[in-house]
Structure 1
Amino acid sequence: MLKILLISGFTGMLAFAGCKDKPAAKDTTGPASSKTTEATAPAAPDSAKHIVFFGNSLTAGYGLDPSEAFPAVIQEKIDSLKLPYKVVNAGLSGETTAGGKGRIDWLLQQPLDVFVLELGGNDGLRGIPVSETGKNLQDIIDRVKAKYPQAKILLAGMQVPPNMGSKYAGEFRAVFRSLADKNKLPLVPFLLEGVGGIPELNQPDGIHPTARGHKIVAENVWEMLKVML
């Protein structure tokens, strides 16, 4: 298990390591699956619009029932408000931005009205150059825009712990704001705000949020997403 330095001011960001593989190349995010699954929710009418959550183990809800992952929690909010949207959970454990770029064209074969992009965490903890992460995320954004020009896109920001080096951590955090500004996209500043580094909100591995943690993550995302629907 990755040992994270808990430094004052960074406690709220550290457990974002949930999207990283173990250093020895063993994937702590769980077995990968190439199958895109819809978050568990009541059947939506055929006329419903589609919200696709595209991310890694955080989106996939690793270690939990699919109905407990934050995309499914958001579907519950949507249903309670009787909004005509259907959530599709396209989270894949262990996914990097390069991996996401490799599968985005396949994913875009299905209907899409709102696209929530949650990738980058695995890049950060592997020390992948921030410029490469930024280029991959931009490429994904460009492909979504090209296939669905009218689609709305929400970007989820991530952070790396300070033991990755303050320079790298700062550049990594900034790349999400830069992409949001460049593409005029709404941004969730930090997906795991209020969850990272809090033991009772994470599973025994200290990495992946519990069902309770996912409810908080859902609130973080919903704060920005509800304005778009």
Structure 2
Amino acid sequence: MIFRRRATAIAFAAVSAATAALVAGCAAEPVTAAPPLAPATFAPPALAASASPTSSSTPTAAEHVVTLGDSIMSGFGLPPREAWPHLLAERAHISVTNLACPGMGFVVQGDCGTPYSGLIPAIAALQPDLLIVQSSSNDFWVDADEIRYDTADTIETLHAAAPDARIVAFSTIWNDDPQVPDDTAVTSEALRDAVESIGGTYIDVGQPLAGHPDWMQSDDVHPTARGQRAIEQTVMSALQDAGVLP
């Protein structure tokens, strides 16, 4: 689905042979080193893999985090290391595996031919301590009832697949335009209701890009590296305020 101000997902990850079958054709991109195994991320169309970030710091948290969302989360148009989940991993000293695919949402299938629900086997294989899920503007203009149903069904199935994971849901992030579409409330509220129904945590992260056209790439859809840093700062503060991260 293509429209003038949408967010699309681009990163895709797997850790086992079975999971890798879900992401055939993507290239490995490590997010952060985490003993004993560094999780791999897959980031089409940027197919060249880069080395894991090096750090002399000992991680202060043992959590393995999986993030699932759209291209604003996965850093479309930028090196994967500049996406906010990677920045969060470095700052919080946690292991993060970023799962995504271009154009994907709870309802809409991305270029990998699946909505979020197609990644449930990957998340079941990863068994994260923390699962961060973000509603996507890729689902804009889909019937609201369909959004609510598919979101609730996916979250329930994710919870069953990774029962020990704490599930944290983020509201839909738009772009720099202060006039946020009504569809943003539909996708965000559908995820809020779904995650609260299984005992998860919903966080409204607001619109950290609003009013900053200089933080947007030329397509006026995807944030620059500066915009990604702004999102990471917002997310980190929100997770700390909610007691999710120290």
TM-score, normalized by length of structure 2? 0.68
1:184 — aligned with what?
Answer: 199
Quick one: which of 101, 104, 117 aligns to 1:95? 104
Q: Distance in 2 between matches of 1:145 and 1:118?
A: 15
Question: Which 10-residue stretch deviates more, 175-184 or 100-109?
Answer: 175-184
8 Å CA contact retained: 2:31, 2:86: yes
Q: CA deviation at 1:203?
A: 0.7
Q: CA deviation at 1:218?
A: 1.1
2:17 — aligned with what?
Answer: none
Gaps of 5+ in 1: 4-14, 20-28, 80-84
Q: Distance in 2 between matches of 1:129 and 1:143?
A: 21
Matched-pair identity in %: 23
Residue 77 to residue 206, structure 1, CA distance change in 2 (3 Å): same
Gaps of 5+ in 2: 14-22, 38-61, 108-114
Q: CA deviation at 1:211?
A: 0.8
Q: Distance in 2 between matches of 1:49 and 1:171?
A: 31
8 Å CA contact retained: 1:159, 1:172: no
Residue 144 to residue 88, structure 1, CA distance change in 2 (3 Å): same
Residue 54 to residue 37, structure 1, CA distance change in 2 (3 Å): farther
Residue 204 to residue 86, structure 1, CA distance change in 2 (3 Å): same
Q: Deviations over 1:136-158 (max 9, x none)?
A: 22222212221222210110111
Q: Is 1:122 aligned to 2:143, yes or no?
A: no
Q: Deviations over 1:145-187 (max 9, x none)?
A: 21222210110111678696x5x55544432333344333322
Equivalent position amino acid for 1:154 in 2: V
Quick one: which of 129, 136, 151 aligns to 2:150? 136
Q: Distance in 1 between matches of 2:76 and 2:86?
A: 13
Quick one: which of 169, 174, 181 aligns to 2:189? 174
Q: Distance in 2 between matches of 1:32 and 1:115?
A: 15
Residue 163 to residue 149, structure 1, CA distance change in 2 (3 Å): closer
SS of 2:131's equivalent in the other structure is: strand
Q: Distance in 1 between matches of 2:154 and 2:29?
A: 20
2:81 — aligned with what?
Answer: 67
Q: Is 1:53 aligned to 2:67, yes or no?
A: yes
Q: CA deviation at 1:220?
A: 2.2
Structure of greater relative contact order (alpha carbons < 8 Å, 6+ residues apart):
1
Equivalent position amino acid for 2:155 in 1: I
8 Å CA contact retained: 2:139, 2:187: no
SS of 1:89's equivalent in the other structure is: strand
Q: Distance in 1 between matches of 2:204 and 2:221?
A: 19
Q: CA deviation at 1:118?
A: 1.6
Aligned residues: 197
Quick one: which of 100, 104, 114 aligns to 2:120? 104
8 Å CA contact retained: 1:60, 1:66: yes
Q: Distance in 1 between matches of 2:27 and 2:164?
A: 22
8 Å CA contact retained: 1:95, 1:119: no
